[in-house]
Amino acid sequence: MKVLISEKKLAAKVKALAKQIRNDYEGEVPIFCGILKGSFLFMADLVREYASECEIDFMAVSSYGNAKKGSGVVRLIKDLHINVKQRHILIIEDIIDSGLTSTYIKQYLKLRKPKSVEFVTLLDKSEARKVKIDIKYVGFNIPNKFVIGYGLDYAEKYRQLPYIAECEDEERLK
């Protein structure tokens, strides 16, 4: 397992992103919409660092299952409970790669007539992009490698790692 982003670098980046978001949404009460399960650690740290009034909700979608590549089919598993009409929504993602799932989520939420919908992603894997997507807040740009840790998993394992690592050979990780 090769560590790509250390715990210390993650903490510094989360703090910087929270400050930028706080400045951009001063006087507003944005909704932080975490995309489960991968975003939960990032979102928890981000909201703590944000330290201003906000609301929190979650959505769950599936496009991977237990595979290392997305199927291209997005299934909505859990929807938001908060009314988002005329509200600022920040979609909190662990990683954006192909952009297919993120595009689906944004289009779905726009049907509810929010004031704005923006992405906050810890990791941007732009080399894997299949659709054009505008990401307002990016933590780290990473190469087209499969990564685990800090909420990201392989077959529901390794989310607890406090850093981001490349999953070189899943057989060795079992």
Reported as a pLDDT band with limits 50, 70 and 90, residue 75 is confident
pLDDT digits 0-9 by tens, 126-170: 999 999 999 999 999 999 999 999 999 998 999 999 999 998 765
Strand partners, 124: 96, 141
Residue of 45, 94, 97, 153 marked catalytic: 97
pLDDT digits 0-9 by tens, 142-152: 999 999 999 99
Q: Cα separation of 14 and 27, whole Å?
A: 21
Query: Number of folded domains in the chain?
Result: 1
Q: What is the pTM of this model?
A: 0.90
CA angle in degrees (0–180, nearest 5) for 108-42-134: 45
Report the CATH number that the domain containing residue 53 is assigned in CATH: 3.40.50.2020
Which structural domain, as residue segments, surrounds residue 55?
2-173
Asked about 24 being catalytic, the answer comes back as no
